[in-house]
Amino acid sequence: MAKERSSGAGDPARTLELLWRDGAPSVPGGRRGPRQGLTVDAVVEAAIGLADEGGLDALTMRAVARRLGVTPMTLYTYVPGKAELLDLMLDSVFLGMPRPAFAAGEPWRERVTAVADANRALYLGHPWLAELRVHRPPLGPGVMTKYEHELGAFEGVGLDDVAMDSALTHVLGFVQTVARTELDARAVERESVLSDHEWWAAHEPLLTRVLDPERFPLATRVGEASAVAYQGLYDAGHAYAFGLARVLDGLAALIPPGSAAR
């Protein structure tokens, strides 16, 4: 199960060939395939659609084959297995991300915010990404294009190359964490018979009786203030904006005082 939720778990050589379409013709062997028009790209697109709809649990080679109208054995002539398919899916969604160009002279905080916003949108658009462990990312065109673009947010601010890589990793790690929390909250509300507001209303009478403000003065005061501000138990937008601002404040300490980025 762990292998089926991790990147980089397939055959490295075959995965790289498929990622860069090196030695992977649209129809294996250059001959007409079992289904005219079927390609590696079509297989990847079908797999992404399944994962978008039902998460990684819904993604099986049999399910992909059924969506494409072919037998599982036919599918294996295009992609060796699920491990390689996950790498292809990840690289594909990375390659398809919107990547607005950074304007000349644009403040670094705005550039980094644009990177963070784009990654948050990617997670929310493809929730299965939050389920996937990406310790060894597939070094395909999507991963490399994304990395090249996002490093540009830190170019020219006075950081050395290692610090640029670390800063980007820090930002992306924050985005992944808050996106996963937001997706969990959405799943709970979707699967529950109660919205957050309804859940709170149902429990408030009992909580009012058992939670003693004198025993928990800070928890009571801060909790009530937060509930009013969030209009519920949690505000994903506020959590993201507040956390990103703190991440940017921390990165600002790394930028040399004499840098033009200041």
Percent of the chain scoring above 70 in pLDDT: 89
Question: Which residue, 95, 119, 141, sits at the end of a domain?
Answer: 95
What residue numbers bound the domain in which 228 lies?
Answer: 108-252
Q: Are residues 188 and 245 part of one domain?
A: yes
pLDDT by residue (tens digit) across 99-125? 989 998 899 999 999 999 999 999 999
Q: Are residues 212 and 135 part of one domain?
A: yes
State the amino acid at position 8 in one-letter form: G
Q: Are residues 133 and 40 part of one domain?
A: no
What pLDDT is recorded for position 105?
Answer: 86
Rg (CA), the chain: 23
CB 87 within 8 A of CB 15: yes
Token output for 156: 């020219």
Residue 101 included in any domain:
no
Within 10 Å of residue 226's Cβ, how many Cβ atoms?
A: 14
Supply the CATH number for residue 188's domain.
1.10.357.10
Question: Which residue, 95, 117, 150, sits at the end of a domain?
Answer: 95
What pLDDT is recorded for position 26?
Answer: 47
Q: What is the DSSP string of 150-173?
A: HHTTTTTSS--HHHHHHHHHHHHH
Measure the N-to-C terminal CA separation of the chain; round to a whole number of Å.
47
Q: Are residues 128 and 33 part of one domain?
A: no
Residue 36 included in any domain:
yes
Q: Is 243 exposed, middle or buried (0-12, 13-18, 19+ CB in 10 A)?
A: middle
Q: Are residues 124 and 84 part of one domain?
A: no
Q: Are residues 163 and 217 part of one domain?
A: yes
Spatial distance between the Cα atoms of 102 and 83, rounded to a whole number of angstroms:
35
3-state secondary structure of 48: helix
Stated pTM of the model = 0.85
Pick the residue with more confidence: 132 or 188? 132
